[in-house]
Each structure stands twice: as C-alpha cells, then as structure tokens.
A and B are shown apart, each in its own frame.
Chain A
Amino acid sequence: MKGKVIVITSGKGGVGKTTTTANLGTALAMMNQKVVLIDTDIGLRNLDVVMGLENRIVFDIVDVVNGNCKLKQALIKDKRFEGLYLLPAAQTKDKSAVSPHQMKNLTNELRNSFDFILVDCPAGIEQGFKNAIAGADDAIVVATPEVSSVRDADRIIGLLEAAGLNNPRLIINRLRSKMVKRGDMMDIGDIIEILSIELLGVVPEDETIVISTNKGEPAVIENNSRAGAAYRRIARRIMGENVPIESLDDTGNLVDRFRKMLKLAR
C-alpha cells in the first residue's frame, strides 16, 4: 500500500479545518478506504473531541516521535468505522516538540498501511504549519466567504506553493446561500476568481455540524445533514470521481423544491 498524505490547512483559525478533517476522513472510511487522521495542533488538540475519541487517548504524536511508544500503540481505532484511525496531538507540549523531519518520517511510515493520511493543520503559519505540511503530497485549503479568511487563504496558498505543494484545492466552508442571494456574501465565483485555485467543494452553513460536534459524531453519518452530504461528495472527488459542484440554492420556490423531490424519487 502506498497511501496519499493530504494536509488540511487554512491560515485563519475557526474556519473548519478540524471539522473538515473529521468528516472527510470518516467519509473516506465509509467508502472502504483505510484512513488515519493526524492532529498536529500540539497544545490545542481538538480532533479527538470532534471525533468523539477523547476518552481513548493513551499515547500521542509526541510520544511516537520521541520513541516512548510504537506508532501502532498511539493509533486509536475508531470502532464505528472499519479502517479509521486517529493519531492525537499532545496537549501539554508545544509545537516545537515535533520537527518537520520527524513529521516526514512519520507520514512515510503510515503510507505503508493506509490509503489516506489526513493531516489536520493548526492555525497560523509558524512551526505547527511547517510541521503539518512537511510530509504532504497534496493540500486542501479551507476558507469561509469572509475577507479575513480569504486573505489568509491567499497567504497560505503562496506558502504551500513555495514549499512545493503546487496545486492546493479549495473547500469553501459555511456558505450561506440566502446571504449570497441578496448580495451580502461573496459567492463561489468571487472567491475562486480572487484566489485563482481549483475548487474541491462547497459546504453550506449548517446547524447539524454543531449538533454532531456536540455528540462527537461526524456529520457525514447523518443522512439529512446538508453539510454531511457536501462532505461525502467531496470525499468522492478526492477518490477521483467526477462529481459536479452542487448548486446550494435552498431558497427555490415550492414548485422547484417539489420538482427536485420528484426527480430524487425517480
């Protein structure tokens, strides 16, 4: 097996890197892929709680690179999904506890036993970012339709390209179609034009994300979560399937909606 290492990054904090990592990883596992999620946010770990695996941590990434335990011992198996694992960050150390060189070795070792290695990058452009991208083959940039987030995404794209990650792909997160419709939120076209980057997917603003995070269950397992459905489609694109970008217009009139329902039923 020769797995692919994908880093999920954004520059700005709070735009949904961890949620994206958890959902894409789970969706890929549901597609029978062997997936490991790595939390590189040392000192501020959260992927464990988002995944609902916080009570099962024994060893962490710092223990692994320091040789306190074997890599296999630190991997937490998610019992709900076959082939899904988490390598948690340490909570009591800081970013300098791991070096880019160690990250590279770690991801290379994981390639042998996984199809996908998803690296959840911390916010910022310092050491933690450098660690997270060190072993990556591909990068996914997450941005919300706000000036601060898009600006930081632009900076991150520049830094990724300088590090040789030449074709990062963009996920636009938390898009509110109603605001877009009334001209109070940048639309997909605006953001793509400004960043000139390939679009991997669009995730709508969705309350079910808050609810599923409360429970520690990724939204992709909920059939009626719109954000979950968007993440499932993105996972299929990562697998190489040609899935068209969905129209997020949920404000269509009743007749339109009825028509859509009929189409689905057919």
Chain B
Amino acid sequence: MVLLDILNKIFNRDAVSSKDIARERLRLVLVHDRASVSPEFLNALKEDLIKVIREYLDIDEDALMVNLENEENSVALVANIPVKGFKRAVGV
C-alpha cells in the first residue's frame, strides 16, 4: 500500500490534489455560512416566495418551510409549501 502511494506520487497519479478538496469544501461551507449570517435572510426569502406563489396557488402560509440543506456535494434550497387549493384558471 505504501509502495503504491509512493508510485502514485512519482507518476503524479493523485487524481485530486488536496487544495482542490479544500477549495470545494470551503465553497460549500461558505454557501451555508453566508446564508445563515443573517437570520433575516431566510425570512425575507420566505416572504418573497409567498408573495409570488400566492398569485397562482392558495397556500398554507403558516406551514410553509424554507431551508438550505447540505446534500452530499451541493447545497439545496428546499421548500415545503402545503397547497390548500388551486385558484380558478382565468382566461386561456
């Protein structure tokens, strides 16, 4: 195993350098850090979402959940928005 490591080093077969790992990990952790720097951030986002969705759907605003979640190698904005009913289609 050690010998293999040495051979890999000699032939530069280390596919990912450790600085690339560092950069990727930082990028992910900072997305989360920056979003949570202000607790107002998610609330502001939530309120704007409600404003937009209300135009189209009748939603349960109190049960609405918006969160940033760390997936394996990405950060996702996950929203759970209970729909109470659809607005009657207008026009076309």
Residues of chain A having any CB pair with chain B under 8 Å: 146-147, 150-151, 154-155, 158, 180, 182-187, 190, 194
The docked-state distance in angstroms from the alpha carbon of A146 to that of B26 is 9
The docked-state distance in angstroms from the alpha carbon of A154 to that of B19 is 18
Q: Kindly list chain A residues whose C-beta atoms are within 8 Å of the C-beta of B18.
A: 183-184
Q: Would you call B29 an interface residue if the criterion is a C-beta within 8 Å of the partner chain's C-beta atoms?
A: yes
The docked-state distance in angstroms from the alpha carbon of A146 to that of B14 is 20
The docked-state distance in angstroms from the alpha carbon of A26 to that of B3 is 50
**CB distance A185 to B26 under 8 Å?**
no
The docked-state distance in angstroms from the alpha carbon of A183 to that of B37 is 31
**CB distance A190 to B23 under 8 Å?**
yes
**CB distance B17 to A183 under 8 Å?**
yes
Give the number of residue pairs across the A-B interface with Cβ within 8 Å: 38
The docked-state distance in angstroms from the alpha carbon of A185 to that of B29 is 18
Q: Kindly list chain A residues whose C-beta atoms are within 8 Å of the C-beta of B23.
A: 186, 190, 194
Interface size class of B (residues with CB under 8 A): 10 to 19
Per-residue contact bits, chain B 6-44, to A (CB 8 Å; 1 contact, 0 not): 000000001001111011011101100110010000000
Partner of A151, one of B17, B19, B33: B33
**CB distance A190 to B33 under 8 Å?**
no
Residues of chain B having any CB pair with chain A under 8 Å: 14, 17-20, 22-23, 25-27, 29-30, 33-34, 37
**CB distance B30 to A151 under 8 Å?**
yes
With known contacts A147-B25, A151-B29, A194-B27, A186–B19 Cβ distance under 8 A: yes
Q: Kindly list chain A residues whose C-beta atoms are within 8 Å of the C-beta of B25.
A: 147
Q: Kindly list chain A residues whose C-beta atoms are within 8 Å of the C-beta of B14.
A: 183
Q: Kindly list chain A residues whose C-beta atoms are within 8 Å of the C-beta of B17.
A: 182-184
Of the candidates B14, B18, B22, B29, the one having the most CB atoms from chain A within 10 angstroms of its own CB is B22
Chain B residue nearest to A190 (CB atoms) is B23
With known contacts A183-B18, A184-B17, A150–B34 Cβ distance under 8 A: no
Q: Kindly list chain A residues whose C-beta atoms are within 8 Å of the C-beta of B26.
A: 147, 150-151, 194
A151-B26, A190-B23 are known; give 18 further A-B pairs, CB within 8 A.
A146-B22, A147-B25, A147-B26, A151-B29, A151-B33, A154-B30, A154-B33, A154-B34, A155-B33, A158-B37, A182-B17, A183-B17, A183-B18, A184-B19, A185-B19, A187-B19, A190-B19, A194-B27
Give the Cβ gap from B39 to chain A, nearest Cβ, in Å. Answer: 13
**CB distance B22 to A147 under 8 Å?**
yes
**CB distance B22 to A186 under 8 Å?**
yes
Q: Kindly list chain A residues whose C-beta atoms are within 8 Å of the C-beta of B33.
A: 151, 154-155
Q: Kindly list chain B residues whose C-beta atoms are within 8 Å of the C-beta of A180.
A: 19
Give the Cβ gap from A82 to chain B, nearest Cβ, in Å. Answer: 43
Sample (28) of A-B pairs whose CB atoms are under 8 Å apart:
A146-B22, A147-B22, A147-B25, A147-B26, A150-B26, A151-B26, A151-B29, A151-B30, A151-B33, A154-B30, A154-B33, A155-B37, A158-B34, A158-B37, A180-B19, A182-B17, A183-B14, A183-B17, A183-B18, A183-B20, A184-B18, A186-B19, A186-B23, A190-B23, A194-B23, A194-B26, A194-B27, A194-B30
